[in-house]
Chains A and B, each alone.
Chain A
């Protein structure tokens, strides 16, 4: 089954404690992206990657890091989380041969206290 998986699905942490949210896709898509969803603000892109070792900033990259060492994986790293990073996070992947329609993971709800 074609899918994008994210882990964990729910996470409560404290300010300053480094965390990683994993994302993996099994469709051999070249493009992957991270979004955050906040009430009233819709979806905002954090980082994206066009292929292995190629990443770039989206609209709200501050406080986040990513890496793309393998085509299937695109982890999101919060080196020093702060309460304003409390949000719902989605990973997505897509490919040119599907006109760039995006396949989304189930989401990770992060709370930073």
Chain B
């Protein structure tokens, strides 16, 4: 079946450090891929998405590229800020749309 695996946290970085959060997936067909972010005390919100192979999603300095050959969708940011501290979820949307599968989430702490 379809599944998403993302790196375990927490991840602790200093401000301006480079961030990578790994995400790999198993899926049939051609799913859409998403990164959602959850700030403390809030619901999840979409950070970026990619709907087909080789697409790059980007938002707020974050990027992720849909790599079908490695079944990956790693999240990257060149220089993190304290305000990026949150939980990040990788997610897989199947072609039928009714089932979104979420990874377990990775908590990021950014120190000033």
Contact = CB atoms under 8 A, between A and B. Distances in A.
Given A42-B89, A43-B89, A99-B32, A48 B104 contact: no
Contacts of A81: none
Contacts of A99: 32, 49, 51, 93
B99 interface: yes
Nearest to A4: B43
Q: Is the interface of A mostly helix, strand, loop or mixed?
A: strand
A42 B49 contact: no
B62 interface: no
A106 B103 CA distance: 20
Nearest to A95: B97
A48 B44 CA distance: 17
B100 interface: yes
Interface residues of A, number: 24
A105 B43 contact: yes
A31 interface: yes
Contacts of B97: 31, 94, 96, 100
Nearest to A105: B43
B46 interface: yes
A102 interface: yes
Contacts of A33: 100
Interface in A77-108: 90, 92, 94, 96, 99-107
Nearest to A96: B97
Contact of B104 (A42, A56, A100, A104): A42
Interface of B: 32, 34, 36, 42-46, 49, 51, 89, 91, 93, 97-100, 102-105
8 contacts: A42-B89, A92-B44, A94-B97, A101-B46, A102-B34, A102-B46, A102-B100, A103-B46
